[in-house]
Amino acid sequence: METKVLDQAELVNQVIDVIVKEGMVEREKVTLDATIESLDLKSIDIVMVLTALEEKFDVYIPMDGPFHDAKDVKGLVDAIAAYIIKEKS
């Protein structure tokens, strides 16, 4: 399994895939400007997403990180992507 650093766009797509799967949200609804609230993601869903991302990218993601402040998908994805890139570099 290759662990090269992904580019931001690829990472964003993979994070969105995890949100869709773990949050049980339709892919069409997960746009960058969709709010966390509009996707009906509860804090437990976010925890499931973060846990799945930890496993997928083999990084530790603190549950009290900047991810919980995100109001929309873009904010969440950008925070997670930046964090993973930082941890992997």
Which option is the CATH number for 8-88: 3.40.50.12280, 1.10.1040.50, 1.10.1200.10, 3.90.660.10?
Answer: 1.10.1200.10
* 64: its two tokens: 């009290």
| Rounded Cα distance, 35 and 10, in Å | 21
Domain boundaries, the chain: 8-88
Q: Are 80 and 66 in contact (CB under 8 A)?
A: no
Considering 31-35, 42-46, 81-85, the range whose residues carry the highest mean pLDDT is 31-35
In 3D, which of 34, 20, 25 has the Cα closest to residue 73? 34
pTM of the shown model: 0.81
Element (H, E) at 3: none
DSSP 23: H
Q: Which pLDDT band, with edges at 50, 70 and 90, does 2 fall under?
A: very low
